[in-house]
Every structure is written in C-alpha cells, then in structure tokens.
Structure 1
Amino acid sequence: MSKDNKSTGPTQRMLRVGELVRHALAAMFARGDVEDDALRGAVITVPEVRMTNDLKIADAYVMPLGGQHAEEIVAALNRNRKFIRGRVAPQLNLKFAPELRFFVDDTFEEASRIDALLRSDKVQRDLQADDEDGEES
C-alpha cells in the first residue's frame, strides 16, 4: 500500500473486521456477559467499530439506550476490556485479537445539534432571503 492510499479511508478488510467486532460486541452486551455494577441493566448499542490499518486496535463507539450515564458505561467497558477481548477474540478468526478501546458515540448528539441549528430563526431567515433572491432572478 502506498502512502497516498492511507488517506483514502478504510480498506474493505478493515470494514469487514470492524463489522465482525461490532456484531460480537453487540451480542456480548445483549447477553450481559460483562459483570460490572455500572453496566447492570444497561442496554448498550454499538453503532460503529473502526479498525486501525494493521487491525491491531479496534475503536468501538458505544451508546447506552437513552444516552444516560454514557461516560460511566464507557469507563466500565474500558476497565473490562481485557475480559471482553478474550470473549470476542475466538469469534473473529484472526491471527491476533485486536486491542479494544471504547468511546462514547456522539453522532446522534451531533446530528441533533445540526438539526437544531438548521431550524433556528436566523438560518430560516437566511433561507427565506435566498428564496426571495432566487425568485427575482
């Protein structure tokens, strides 16, 4: 792989392995295999897993249902990541199991913020002004 290809985004293999890790994590969380007080009763979704080029690190973006206590849940998952790695590794069929790192998934929050901006009075005024300018042309 040349230097130029590194900036083009994830390879098909990175995407495939990321999806395998995502599914394995989601199944594990659904079963409640991780015993930690912070995770008790939490329904955790795994919207995305990003793999490094060498497939040695998996960054898992997670969000508890309702978004409550997200930071605590991510901290608990990171405390238990060696256990989680040991349970997920056999399902991946890879030479080496990737190191897992957990992060709060903020894509929904960001989308809500953008939506609120687009609905703001100032943006609506600008859009109406653009429509009026377009009609005069």
Structure 2
Amino acid sequence: MAKSRFDKGAGPSQRQLRVGEAVRHALADILARGEVMDEVLTSHVITVPEVRMSPDLRLATIFVMPLGGQDAKEVLAALDRNRRFLRGELARRVNLKFAPDVRFRLDESFDEAQRIDTLLQSEKVRRDLARPEGAGDNDEEA
C-alpha cells in the first residue's frame, strides 16, 4: 500500500518550511515596524520564532513570545483582535495562491529549554558526570 503524502510520521515538506519561513519574516517585519495600530502590540517587542504551515498552505500556526514573556495573554489577545489586518498584510507580502488563515499560539519552547537546563544543572546529573568511568563496573575486576 502506498504511503500518503500527509502521514503523521512524515515531517513538513520543503515547501511548507519555505512558506512558513517567508510568513515568519513578513510578520516579524510588520510587527517590528509597528504597522499594527494597537497599543498593546506597539508597546511590546514580539518574537516570532516559528510558523508551521498546514500541508495545503491554507493555515499558518504562528508561535509568538513577547520579550521577557511578560503580558503574554494580552499580546495573544491583541494579535487575535488584529488577525484580519495581519492576514491581509501577509497576503500582500507573501505571494501565494490563497492567503493563509492565521492563528496565534504562545511559544513554550523557551520554557522547555529552561526546564532542561535546570535538569542538567541538578545535583544528580553532576554526581553522575563526576563519577569515574570504571567506578560502577565490577565485571572487569573478577
């Protein structure tokens, strides 16, 4: 049986990645220039680390994070309020057959990276790394 192009196990296609990156750059430019007339958005520096496109390129899931992680819920609400304007600007800047519908999500990869760093700095990990290489092996002495 032939594999489907849209299997869950397969990663995003090159086209999805390329279009996602173009959308990310365009949105970051719009937000950096302050083209959205919203007090919340103009008062925050917003990072756009990733955009994931659906296989048919009609939906863009945009991950955002305000600098320092402050007022994240207010920033997401402001982006949702201005979704129509942002979609129109993205359609104008990124040449696609259809303007993708956009949805905004809070990027939690920074929190996950911090959690992993904390685990790596824990006493248990330090103790395991400090143990001499042959200290736990009794097979070689016999």
TM-score normalised by the chain length of structure 1: 0.89
- 2:100 aligns to what? 98
- 1:117 aligns to what? 119
User: CA shift at 1:120, angstroms?
Assistant: 0.9
Superposed CA deviations along residues 92-131 of structure 1, whole A, max 9, x for unmatched, are 1111000011111111111011110111112222333474
User: CA shift at 1:49, angstroms?
Assistant: 0.3
Give the length in aligned residue pairs: 137
Superposed CA deviations along residues 2-39 of structure 1, whole A, max 9, x for unmatched, are 42652210000000100110010000000111122222
Answer with 1 or 2: which has the greater Rg: 2
In the alignment, is residue 107 of structure 1 matched against residue 97 of structure 2? no
CA RMSD, 1 decimal: 2.2
Mapping 1:1-137, distance limit 5 Å = 2-3=3-4, 6=7, 7-129=9-131, 131=133, 132-133=135-136
Give distance in 1, aligned partners of 2:125 and 2:101. 44
User: CA shift at 1:135, angstroms?
Assistant: 10
Give distance in 1, aligned partners of 2:69 and 2:46. 9
Structure 2 runs not aligned, ≥5 long: none
Give distance in 2, aligned partners of 1:116 and 1:135. 32
Give distance in 2, aligned partners of 1:63 and 1:123. 30
- Specify whether residues 124 and 74 from structure 1 end up closer, same or farther in structure 2 by C-alpha distance, changes over 3 A only: same
* Runs of 4+ residues over 3 Å off in structure 1: 126-132, 134-137
Give distance in 2, aligned partners of 1:38 and 1:48. 21
Structure 1 runs not aligned, ≥5 long: none
Letter in 1 for 2:4: K
Give distance in 1, aligned partners of 2:126 and 2:132. 10
User: CA shift at 1:70, angstroms?
Assistant: 1.5
The worse-fitting range, judged by mean Cα deviation, of 4-13 and 16-25 is: 4-13
